[in-house]
Structure 1
């Protein structure tokens, strides 16, 4: 298992150690047992179909091949991953690399048909990641802004000063389920909580993270320094483990439960994204000057 996974979990050779592949080697039986427990939480039973693993006649979008190459070492597993990602795009109507992270992890534990069932629930259920895996992940960004609105005012102001917009980091936290960031021992705790509680846990994790690292954010000298923390590169793993656990505490669960999430999303969209999206889309219709000058225009 640990020898099959490659770059999706470790973006560069120098960072491999922070993903703790040794945890998977030492906890293989536990990892499979815990992954199996995710299925009943989301109402999925293991697939019983005779799975056709024959590769597709065409690999489709080049990003599927690139993501599969970054995820698996062996070509047979890469081809299965490509097929799963292609089916996902076909059924969900769009694709984002974060879906590839989740698919790659699931393929370590389940056959591709079961993985597709899990991805379907995650993609379609309001409890989990609806709209998060679109190319333009507006729904994910909106939920990031909902979470930001719950932070203390001085923290919100400091994030603004540092240029840390929620849309720039919640895609990896929420849509990618921190698969690209947390050591496996901590990641499995995160995923256990997520599959049990859904996106409510993501909100709780967001709040717990900024409570734990408030001093570091407030004292960050610049955007790069703060970004290293947000990407968990400078965040100690023991403190991240503390955040993952703390996010299940009553102070966070009750706060999220008390939200009118639908109204919060409407407000966040109107206040932060609506005008930007309108302007960008309006610009697609703007008539462009082709730079050609006709002789009668010169004479006039």
Structure 2
């Protein structure tokens, strides 16, 4: 792409080039492209097998295609370059069966130097052999490895570990390194070196790089207790670290970023048991998820208004036509209310509606549901004894039984949320 006659006129201020720092230009673009062509050769020496891919002309998921097009608009200025990126991304989608914006970052960087098919090959290799599970909308594998990074940091730099851990969770900032692979973080000169080492060493180099970056910024990190400032530091925000950033006057422009990569290459992680740390991280995530579900269930059972329902009565009520006076025609019949869990409105498949009756009169002795809430008549158990109608006690006991039965319904309600279980990450 960068060797095209019009590229440097049309895309000179494109978002993807913000970290170029004039490293690539009209004069050296052919040399840089030849250097990038070796990326796949380096990958082959690591994975030991060729990768066959095909370019897709369309995407069968219209929502994914819409997001892909938006990402292309955020990356390049000219429509023809956007179309190339769209072609690459929709060709990768059937392979990953999901989409994360990090794929767009990596693809757009590689597309500057390589043909679309070669870009798809490299992304496929990263997905299958280097970073499996990272390029998902809700990437558990990435969350796991962000915690592994923190465990490794504790081994090498316990003070840094304690300081960061007490302020933010690692998944809040590590995505720029692990999923976006430092596109928009490092300058292009250092980014080329980063890719070469990652493709050569595999996933372990991500952890080496992460430790090296934290070590490089050790003093700045320790000196701040501001979460926003800490995030900006760890992401190498361009406002704090512009392309011409220098630690001292004697340092050359770009050397600060290159030194992070050089430091990473010297870090020895041979004694790190990565599978063990990953198992521990997964166990931590499992316990946290169990606790989250438990809290959700407790919240549903201890709301100010706990509403019980009978599916048969609900079905009958749904079949009855609504009227303007429904629920108030007969004082003895009580008030009929319908409630919806607001969280379930987002997904029609998960929608749960429960019917309840607030019984005001118990003369007819019917088998009816009861809405047990903080109303004036039943504010506490002592008030139940003050009710003249003895049937109130019986119905209260009945609803205690319903409460136990409805625990199963709450479990169902928790389970239907499984699809969104990792959204908080």
Q: Do the structures match in fold with TM over 0.5? A: yes
Q: Is the 8 A contact 2:55 2:117 kept in 1?
A: no
Matches within 5 A, 1:96-175: 96-125=100-129, 128-151=130-153, 152-163=157-168, 165-175=169-179
User: Does residue 36 of structure 1 match 2:37?
Assistant: yes
User: Does residue 276 of structure 1 match 2:288?
Assistant: yes
SS of residue matched to 1:294: strand
SS of residue matched to 2:225: coil
Q: CA RMSD in A?
A: 2.9
User: Does residue 23 of structure 1 match 2:23?
Assistant: yes
Distance 1:275 1:23 in 2: 47
Distance 2:29 2:51 in 1: 19
Deviation at 1:131, TM superposition (A): 0.9
Distance 1:114 1:5 in 2: 24
Matches within 5 A, 1:1-300: 1=2, 3-4=10-11, 8-9=15-16, 16=18, 19-25=19-25, 26-43=27-44, 60-61=63-64, 62-125=66-129, 128-151=130-153, 152-163=157-168, 165-233=169-237, 234-235=240-241, 236=245, 238-249=255-266, 252=267, 254=268, 256-271=269-284, 273-279=285-291, 290=339, 294-296=357-359, 297=370
Deviation at 1:71, TM superposition (A): 1.5
Q: Is the 8 A contact 1:130 1:139 kept in 2?
A: yes
Distance 2:357 2:12 in 1: 60
Distance 2:80 2:278 in 1: 42
SS of residue matched to 1:134: coil
Distance 1:6 1:198 in 2: 33
Distance 2:273 2:97 in 1: 29
Normalising by structure 1, what TM-score? Answer: 0.82
Size of the aligned set, in residue pairs, is: 283
Quick check: 72-81 or 131-140, which moved more?
A: 72-81
Q: Is the 8 A contact 1:6 1:71 kept in 2?
A: no
Q: Is the 8 A contact 1:178 1:187 kept in 2?
A: yes
| Between structures 1 and 2, the one with greater helix share | 1
Distance 1:222 1:111 in 2: 43
Unaligned runs of 5+ in 1: 11-15
Deviation at 1:60, TM superposition (A): 4.6
Higher relative contact order (CA 8 A, sep 6+): 1
Compared CA separation, residues 278 and 180, structure 1 to 2 (3 A): farther
Q: Match for residue 403 of structure 2?
A: none
Q: Is the 8 A contact 2:187 2:257 kept in 1?
A: no
Compared CA separation, residues 263 and 46, structure 1 to 2 (3 A): closer
Distance 1:129 1:277 in 2: 23
Residue by residue over 1:140-182, the C-alpha shift from the partner in whole angstroms, topping out at 9 and shown as x without a partner, is 121121121122222111002222x211111110111100211
Unaligned runs of 5+ in 2: 3-7, 246-253, 302-306, 308-338, 341-354, 360-369, 372-376, 378-391, 393-425
Q: Match for residue 13 of structure 1?
A: none
Distance 2:68 2:128 in 1: 21
Deviation at 1:239, TM superposition (A): 2.5
Distance 1:73 1:46 in 2: 31
Q: Is the 8 A contact 1:60 1:86 kept in 2?
A: no
Deviation at 1:109, TM superposition (A): 2.0
Q: Is the 8 A contact 2:106 2:180 kept in 1?
A: yes
Q: Is the 8 A contact 2:85 2:107 kept in 1?
A: yes
Distance 2:140 2:233 in 1: 24
Quick check: 211-220 or 278-287, which moved more?
A: 278-287
